[in-house]
Amino acid sequence: MTLGPNVRKLIRTVHIIVTVGWLGAVASFLALAIAGLTSSDMQLVRASYLTMDLIARLIIVPLSLIPLLLTGPILSLGTPWGLFRHYWIIVKLVITLLSTAILLVHLRPISYMARVAAQGSLSNGDRPVQIQLVVAAGAGLLALLVATGLAVFKPRGMTIYGWRKQYAERNEM
């Protein structure tokens, strides 16, 4: 199945918008996590964790699912790149899967910190969770930057499946 040029451009545009939005939301989340960890202003700390919970649930989770479940597979399967033909696509898919899975696991500590912040009962015992959120957000941002770099530079390297498919297509001509 090959997409027509206009449909492909539309899907690619949506994919880029969503992934750039995801990247920006994670960068914002990281800034708030750092503020929550380092600030001595309790009002700012509380606001940071309450905002992080909203950003994670309402922005980052939906933006992580759209390229994983919708635009990414459509672009891969509807263009000559294919889903399993090139290593860079597989690596990008794995990065997206892992990033989304790790995000979903981290919803619990994010919710915990938002709950604690709402109650106004932040303590030194919460420091490991605060550090965990900074590290996870930093790692998530790095992973998304790597995935973006792969999408832009498209390093060479076809999978065995890709070589077979290419060979079969050449023989059909």
Q: With cut-offs at 50, 70 and 90, classify the pLDDT of residue 76.
A: confident
Please state, in angstroms and rounded to a whole number, the distance separating the CA atoms of residues 67 and 151: 13
Q: With cut-offs at 50, 70 and 90, classify the pLDDT of residue 100.
A: very high
45 has a pLDDT exceeding 90 = yes
* DSSP code string of 94-113: HHHHHHHHHHHHHHHHHHHH
* Exposure string for 87-104, b = 16+ CB within 10 A, e = fewer: ebbbebbebbeebbeebe
Task: Summarize pLDDT for 49-74 with one digit per residue, the tens.
Answer: 999 999 999 999 999 999 999 999 99
27 has a pLDDT exceeding 90 = yes
- Give the three-state DSSP class for 152: helix
79 has a pLDDT exceeding 90 = no
Please state, in angstroms and rounded to a whole number, the distance separating the CA atoms of residues 65 and 6: 23
Please state, in angstroms and rounded to a whole number, the distance separating the CA atoms of residues 18 and 25: 10
Per the prediction, the chain carries an average pLDDT of 94
